[in-house]
A = this chain, B = another copy of it.
């Protein structure tokens, strides 16, 4: 293994989102967990633990309005003191009663204006926190055929995106997220990568597509999309998570680790293993503890990345060029079948970290502390 792989692995950055530390659930029930943060400051403290033990999670995505504070510069300063920084700003325009029939695609112009104002406020927060990335996911869509005009909603979407694009400053971009369904159950306004891509293409280089690994139709080849978007210069980043069925939001790498490896391989092969492509987690730890769930997920991404970097490119290209189907596949599988955990443990030791982040966190007593002290107040929650 070349030193280069070790260097590249050590340089990886994986962003965790503030909402992962709050309660989450399904429409059937949100099960509360002990020690859950009550405000954005406590969320950042938890995220800092993930970075403390993994060494590769130095930024935290915010979600507005869940993370609204009076003084964003103060929040950013607080993050800095904890050893982390503010990452992407996520705009939430789906939980206000006004958004029942959509936000930026709502048939009512008043609601559209309100939603747009919220998006622009998020750019203000980027300015205040130094964040360079606005993440746009719209719950907009319809539940019944005929409910609204599919094309008119695209026109409204295009108009809102153009306004946001205009507002972006130097070094700022937005990432447009697509999702097949949920909460809209008939037609979602940005249902697939093609829709997100077409809108971003019209707007320019500051608009890119973000791939949430749980947002596709069954059978979709996600790594193809990754390779294609990289070829087009339009891959902005990932929202990582796992799914067996729909947008299950399980821990990344827990449902199909081979798929995660293939995705990371295309990232590496397509020149996307740079700071330009953001690796973000976007998961719901409905049953498992939050901080350990995030640590495990970060490690899963690291393991998939390590395997992707281990692929013998020369051998692969040679087998591909020769049309040797089995050998080309074998080169890829050889990397996947390698146990990279010792390598990653070694790299952690080298960086002064514990080789086993899960065990080290467990020993730290942090969970016991927050469980004991975070009583009273309202636990942060995701969802309705």
Contact = CB atoms under 8 A, between A and B. Distances in A.
Contact of A27 (B27, B217, B321, B326): B27
A208 to B, nearest CB: 14
Interface in A1-53: 24-32
A139 interface: yes
A170 interface: no
B149 A269 contact: yes
A323 B192 contact: no
A378 interface: no
B150 A254 contact: no
B101 A287 contact: yes
Contacts of A227: 150-151, 154
Interface stretch (A59-67, A75-83, A123-131, A289-297): A289-297
A197 B202 CA distance: 13
Contacts of A185: 243-245, 248, 250
Contact of A146 (B24, B197, B328, B337): B328
A228 B154 contact: yes
Contacts of A319: 146
A241 to B, nearest CB: 11
A231 interface: yes
A137 to B, nearest CB: 10
Q: Which of A193, A198, A251 has the most CB of B within 10 A?
A: A198
Interface in A282-331: 286-289, 292-293, 296, 303, 316-317, 319-321, 323, 325-326, 328-331
A101 B288 CA distance: 10
A152 B269 CA distance: 11
A341 interface: yes
B326 A288 contact: yes
A228 B195 contact: yes
B289 A326 contact: yes
Interface string A88-99: 000000110101
This protein's copies in its complex: 4
A31 to B, nearest CB: 5
A23 to B, nearest CB: 10
A135 interface: no
A372 interface: no
Interface in A313-367: 316-317, 319-321, 323, 325-326, 328-333, 336-339, 341, 358
A32 to B, nearest CB: 7
Contact of A28 (B139, B150, B220): B139
A26 B29 contact: no
B244 A245 contact: no
A383 interface: yes
Contacts of A182: 26, 28, 245-246
A329 B232 CA distance: 38
Interface of A: 24-32, 94-95, 97, 99-101, 107-108, 139, 143-152, 154-155, 180-183, 185-188, 191-195, 197-198, 201, 216-221, 223-225, 227-228, 230-232, 243-246, 248, 250-251, 254-259, 262, 266, 269-270, 286-289, 292-293, 296, 303, 316-317, 319-321, 323, 325-326, 328-333, 336-339, 341, 358, 383-384
20 contacts: A26-B27, A29-B99, A143-B325, A146-B332, A147-B328, A149-B269, A150-B227, A154-B227, A181-B248, A188-B221, A192-B192, A192-B193, A194-B197, A194-B228, A198-B228, A217-B218, A219-B244, A256-B259, A257-B336, A258-B258
